[in-house]
Structure 1
Amino acid sequence: MELNSIKDAFDRVTKKQKLSTSKSQETIQQITQEINHAISQIQSTTPSTKSILNELQSKLKQISPLTQLESTQKDLNIAFSKYTKLLEKQFNPDISKSYRHVDFDLHTVNQIIAAHLYREGLFEIGDCFITESNEKTLTDRKTHFLEMYKILDAMKTRDLVPALCWATNNHETLLKNGSDIELKLHRLQFMEILQSGRRDAALKYARSHFAPFAERHLPEIQKLMACLLWAGKLESSPYSEFLSPSHWAKLGDELALQYCNLIGESHHCPLSATVAAGVQGLPTLLKLMNVMTGKKQEWQTMKQLPVPVDLDQEFQFHSIFVCPVSRDQAGEDNPPMLMSCGHVLCRQSITKLSKNNSTRPFKCPYCPTEVEVGQCRQLYF
């Protein structure tokens, strides 16, 4: 792909756009000045209004704004037209050849889309989709996410009551998961009370709710108690960090994470992650299909891709190993093996390279080292 030519074309478009904008502003400024000058002359009533307007008309003809604007706009349109044609030439918009013809279960697809709409908080659209697709209502998912968004919406207005009720009801489970979100919610509520000037109420709240967390979070609780001494001037205290609005945003994200964990859902939307991963892997698939032109039948029956599709770390959800020689994914029957040179291959690849002879040395495919099968050690991920 000629990225340099695309960049040059883009630079030409931006240059023409800046020139066109600058010329337009200059022309408009000239017209404005002449009109303002004519208005001031009319207001002074020294010459006749008719002569002033005739003079203004003559000056506007000299400026010829339409001609000036049309010339720069024409250059911009030409550059933009060439740029779009270059993009169409370099990038193939037809992605249909990058996927195989698979008979999807329409019911499953509809359920995935509906679940996605609910977890994104689009409840009315989700209900409409369920109705029009004649699917059964996903009552459980809708109820769960409806509760979650009610809690998050309340937090946006600094109302922590729904969040605290949820955390209290799930106290034991949150502790087992190692989450201290309940304490963080109580901390925010404590600071809200203290900021309102009710020091006695804040102390009473602390005595009621901080005790269960004293054993594991004593240093933080001590800092919160010290805040009582700075009531009314917390902004200038050593504990002003507790007043940062970022605590609310971070806690909202953490609550959504913990809520999804408790109901057995992924915090990140599966459908969004799938689409994003597909977009990232699409160039590799398109390139593969260009190479395999004329082998469409082989592509349709292929059980695994002959080339790796590299995805970012965010799309790797479990540890895997793919043999760099055979391109097979390691498993119980074909585990990864560490060779004496430090490189790793799957067992079947090592067997083929050694010709199934455990005492016969073979050369590592990636370095000059001679390796024996007996020296290879299985790796456990």
Structure 2
Amino acid sequence: MELNTIKDAFDRVAKKQKLSCSKTQEVIDEVGREIEQAMAKMQSTDNGSGCSDQKSILLELKTKLNEMAPMNQLEGSQRELNVGLVKYAKILEKCFNPDISKAYRNVDFDIHIVNQIIASHFYRQGLFDLGDCFISEANEPDATALKSPFLEMYGILEAMRSRDLEPALNWASKQSERLLQNGSSLELKLHQLQFVEILQKGSQNEALQYARTYLAPFASVHKVEIQKLMACLLWAGRLDQSPYAEFMSPTHWERLAEELTQQFCSLLGQSYESPLSVAIAAGIQGLPTLLKLASVMAAKQQEWQAMKQLPVPVDLGREFQFHSIFVCPVLREQGSDENPPMLMPCGHVLSKQSIAKLSKSSTRPFKCPYCPLEATVGQCRQLHF
């Protein structure tokens, strides 16, 4: 909602700015026309006897300019624009707190780990020169080990952009078993792409030999895909005119490059997205809520940094939900190994501590806080996500 308010205010200021600019140009043009007309009259007068005429022309010009009152016309539109700018600045100040330091806790970070995270971010984005410069200036020589794996990955991706699958095929062959353990058919997809590339060049025999060597081992598991590729042999050199022209789509290269990046990072034990990028993106979404919370807590003379958990939820969207988190609806605390979620016979879920407080006894029935049904501690079962 705040963003919509800011956008509406910006649109109003932009509209007033355009009106002011248009009005200013209109006044300038009108003044210019009067001056040009006066100059034309003065040039047309007789040099010998036109001195009094020129004075009268200038006097007439002065009178017209006074009647036009160009400054008064400009002041009106400029005043409206200034009012809009002042209101817009106030809206920005209200929606954006410049002091974001209030939104984070006093945490002692390990500077070496932070430096490694930043260097790793540069390398995984392919910014190798920037990463080297950062490591040198931060005096973190141990972080250079983070570079070589991503250097290999970007070398493979660069070759793929040049329609060269050899580096990717070599890497997939070496990691064949690990890729299968991940449930990935990346190696087969690379061979399929290479097979289609050979067919596009019109070499049917070469494509058949390639299929016997590299595609045959996958035939028992991927029978349908292999059959389609074998049918493509009938269209060697004119695959674009065949029912299988879809195999030539450039999107296959793009998707395969993305999948290779995902699998490469996975085998390195790292996430596909840069952890630093994810942390910053999540922080940007959560920052307004945290700033508002800090302001409210400060007004109540409470220190939220001393709290074990936030008193309000921070909705970051599904793209930042990496695992399930249970929060007890009664105690408003997250579940843990010591305080796991418990499923009641009625279907509602409370934390173990909530059930203990409600029951007051292991045998005494207690009422569910969300429905009329009763239950005992023995009837509740731990819930595993």
CA contact (8 A) 2:157 2:257 kept: yes
> Runs of 5+ in structure 2 lacking a partner?
30-42, 45-64
Per the alignment, residue 12 of structure 1 pairs with 12
Per the alignment, residue 237 of structure 1 pairs with 242
CA contact (8 A) 1:214 1:221 kept: yes
Of 263, 269, 278, the residue aligned with 1:264 is 269
Answer yes or no: is 1:251 the counterpart of 2:253: no
Answer yes or no: is 1:343 the counterpart of 2:341: no
Per the alignment, residue 379 of structure 1 pairs with 383
How far did 1:290 drift?
A: 1.8
1:77-96 superposed matches below 5 A: 79-96=84-101
Task: Report the 3-state secondary structure (helix = DSSP H, G, I; strand = E; otherwise coil) of the residue aligned with 2:342.
Answer: strand
Per the alignment, residue 328 of structure 1 pairs with 333
Per the alignment, residue 36 of structure 1 pairs with none
Per the alignment, residue 37 of structure 1 pairs with none
Of 214, 222, 230, the residue aligned with 2:227 is 222
Identity %: 64
Distance 2:232 2:266 in 1: 33
CA RMSD of aligned residues (A): 3.3
CA contact (8 A) 2:159 2:165 kept: yes
Distance 2:179 2:227 in 1: 23
Per the alignment, residue 132 of structure 1 pairs with 137
Task: Report the 3-state secondary structure (helix = DSSP H, G, I; strand = E; otherwise coil) of the residue aligned with 1:273.
Answer: helix
Distance 2:213 2:78 in 1: 71
How far did 1:314 drift?
A: 2.1
1:296-315 superposed matches below 5 A: 298-315=303-320
Distance 2:289 2:370 in 1: 24
Query: Kindly tell me: are residues 118 and 7 of structure 1, through their superposed partners in 2, closer, same or farther at Cα, counting changes over 3 Å?
Result: closer
Task: Report the 3-state secondary structure (helix = DSSP H, G, I; strand = E; otherwise coil) of the residue aligned with 2:298.
Answer: coil
Once the two structures are overlaid, the 10-residue window that deviates more, 112-121 or 365-374, is 365-374
Per the alignment, residue 128 of structure 2 pairs with 123
Equivalent AA in structure 1 for residue 290 of structure 2: L
Task: Report the 3-state secondary structure (helix = DSSP H, G, I; strand = E; otherwise coil) of the residue aligned with 2:219.
Answer: helix
How far did 1:157 drift?
A: 1.1
Per the alignment, residue 48 of structure 2 pairs with none
Distance 1:107 1:124 in 2: 20
TM-score by length of 2: 0.80
Query: Kindly tell me: are residues 96 and 185 of structure 1, through their superposed partners in 2, closer, same or farther at Cα, counting changes over 3 Å?
Result: same
How far did 1:301 drift?
A: 2.9
Task: Report the 3-state secondary structure (helix = DSSP H, G, I; strand = E; otherwise coil) of the residue aligned with 1:138.
Answer: helix
Distance 2:198 2:74 in 1: 62
Per the alignment, residue 273 of structure 1 pairs with 278
Task: Report the 3-state secondary structure (helix = DSSP H, G, I; strand = E; otherwise coil) of the residue aligned with 2:221.
Answer: helix
Query: Kindly tell me: are residues 204 and 19 of structure 1, through their superposed partners in 2, closer, same or farther at Cα, counting changes over 3 Å?
Result: farther
Distance 1:177 1:295 in 2: 52
How far did 1:295 drift?
A: 6.8
Per the alignment, residue 33 of structure 1 pairs with none
Query: Kindly tell me: are residues 367 and 12 of structure 1, through their superposed partners in 2, closer, same or farther at Cα, counting changes over 3 Å?
Result: farther
Of 361, 365, 370, the residue aligned with 2:369 is 365
How far did 1:286 drift?
A: 1.7
Query: Kindly tell me: are residues 86 and 300 of structure 1, through their superposed partners in 2, closer, same or farther at Cα, counting changes over 3 Å?
Result: closer
Q: Which has the larger radius of gyration?
A: 2
How far did 1:10 drift?
A: 3.3
Answer yes or no: is 1:213 the counterpart of 2:218: yes
Equivalent AA in structure 2 for residue 101 of structure 1: N
How far did 1:70 drift?
A: 10
Distance 1:144 1:176 in 2: 20
How far did 1:248 drift?
A: 0.5
Of 175, 184, 191, the residue aligned with 1:186 is 191
Distance 2:235 2:75 in 1: 67
How far did 1:145 drift?
A: 0.3
TM-score by length of 1: 0.81
CA contact (8 A) 2:199 2:233 kept: yes
How far did 1:198 drift?
A: 1.8
How far did 1:309 drift?
A: 2.6
CA contact (8 A) 1:308 1:327 kept: no
CA contact (8 A) 2:123 2:146 kept: yes
Per the alignment, residue 56 of structure 1 pairs with none
Per the alignment, residue 59 of structure 1 pairs with none
CA contact (8 A) 1:101 1:300 kept: yes
Query: Kindly tell me: are residues 327 and 193 of structure 1, through their superposed partners in 2, closer, same or farther at Cα, counting changes over 3 Å?
Result: same
CA contact (8 A) 1:359 1:374 kept: no
- Aligned length in residues: 349
> Runs of 5+ in structure 1 lacking a partner?
31-49, 52-61
Superimposed CA distance per residue, residues 217-241 of structure 1 (whole angstroms, 9 cap, x where no aligned partner)? 1111111111111123222211111
Answer yes or no: is 1:157 the counterpart of 2:173: no
